[in-house]
Structure formats: structure tokens, C-alpha cells
Structure 1
Amino acid sequence: MSPASGTVDPRAPRFGQGVTAALALGGVVLQEPVLIYILTALLVVAVASRWRIDPYRFLWLRVRRFVDPPTTTESALPHRFARVVGAMFTSVASICLVVAGVTGIGSLALVGYGLIGIVGVLAALGAFANFCLGCRMYRQVSLFKGWKLLTTPAEDIEEMARL
């Protein structure tokens, strides 16, 4: 991804969605909350750092060496929005699983695994069927653009220079 231009190799988000799907669905199938906590950390770190620290990008840069250069690019903003939504879902799910583990309330664990299951299925659809619900939602909701939650600091500086 080129932070200044806000574009991304279309294969990079699909790769990230594949990682998300594997961790989410693996955590649900194995009933292993540690996988869900790892997934939550991967997503939240990128969002909280405003994409400066992005573990998926780090992994993609290692994999990209083995594939051909991209023939096209696409906007990174819809994919960032989808990851923000995923980070929110996984955060709530992680909280549910932690509280369920501490209190023994089984219904909270069910809610947590249900939320993670939704994230996993949607990520798998994005990775394998090229259907990104978060990206479609982004195109419908332009409110987040004003919050600057989906831009990088480099993009903010570039926008300030244009003003």
C-alpha cells in the first residue's frame, strides 16, 4: 500500500481477509479464545495506530515478493473501514469471552463466538469470493471520512498541504 496515495494492491486486503478468516473461524471451531484475542490485537493495533503499525501489511510485504506486481490498484479507504468494523466486532467478542471466562456465564461466550463467527464468515467471503460487506458499507456511509479515522497521518499532512 502506498500511504501517500491511499491506494492498495487489491490482493493485499484479500490476503488480510484470509488471515482474519483463518484466525476467526479457527477460534470458533476449536473454541480457542487465544486465537480470537490475537486477531483482536492484530486489528486493533492497526486501527489505533492509524495504520502506522499494521501487522497485515507487514505480512503482505513478505508474501508480495513471491507474486507478480499488481496490474491495478484500488482505494484503501473501504478496506480500512471494513477493518475498523472488524476491530469493533472482535473487541466486543473478546470482552464477552474474557467476562465469560471470569464469571462462567456461558451465554456471553456464545455471544462472543457468534460475533467472531460473523467476522470469520464475512472475511472468508471477502478473501475467496471478492465480496467485502464492510467495503460496501463504506460506500454507503461517508460519515467516517469526516472523522479522519480511516486516513493515515501522511494523508492528513498531504491534505493540509493542499489547503
Structure 2
Amino acid sequence: MKKVFFTTVLAISAFVFLSCEKESIDAERPVIKLIAPEEEEGIKPGSDIHFDAVLTDNVALKSYKINIHGAFDGHSHSAATRAAGDVVAFEKTWLEADFIQLGDEPIAGKREARLHHHHMVIPAEIDGKPIREGHYHFTIYCTDEAGNESFIAREIEISSSAEEHTYH
């Protein structure tokens, strides 16, 4: 009797073990292809940034955000947000929710999302002080549904002598 019971339990255990699928864990980070702005692209204070990117993931995207901050001090950030004389460094983070409010589609659940807009404006001044011209970091971060994050950064130049862009 013990032999039959043991054989039955062993057979059921083997069946359950073999029929269960192994849960796959998504460890792949999303991929960001940043098309615009280009490296060292000039942006005039008071104008918008042409933003164009493709985000992809092997399972599903979740969200993205974009940050621009000064690159004046070797990236320690100690001077990036302080006023330099009578000018102010620009720093801002846009969340995906900000772009959705302006009409962009959410990326959550998609395996690929193409982002193209002109919603990010570099102000000419903040609190009556002109924007500090110079090198800034433009960084886009993307997170997938598993919590994996990627980012890509470009250096842009905020300058009153930058050429005006014509967008198509």
C-alpha cells in the first residue's frame, strides 16, 4: 500500500513540476534611439526643442522623462542651478504625463513608441533674468514595465547665436 501511495505522489509531483511554466524575468533594458536634438545642437533661448526618439522594449514600455540641466561645472551640479551674475541656469524635468496632457499618446504597454514633438521650450528668461548660455545636458530616461531603466544623454548648446530651425 505504501508503495502505491508513494508512486502516486511521485507521479503527481512530477506531472505538476513538468507542466508548470517557468516564469520568465524581464532583465532587458529598453532601447532609446534619440534622433533629435543632435549632439552639440544649438537652441535659441525662447525657442522650442525639436524632439524625436524611438523607444523599444522586448516586453513592454512603461514611461519616460526628459531632463535638461547645465553642464557648466564638470557635472558636479554644484553650480548648475545657481545664478551666475545676472543670468540664471535653466533646469527642468518633463514627465511623460506632461506630454500626455499636451496630446501625446501614452507609451505604457507598447513594445515600440515613436516620440516627435516641440513641447519643450527653453525660456528666454527666468524671474526677469536671462538664461545662462552655454552647454547643457539633454537626457531622456525610459523605464519598462519590469522596472528596467535606460538613459541617453546629449550635449546641447543654449545660445542666442544659434540658427533658427525649420521643422517639418
TM-score by length of 1: 0.26
Flag the structure with higher strand content: 2
TM-score by length of 2: 0.25
Flag the structure with higher helix content: 1
- Greater C-alpha Rg: 2
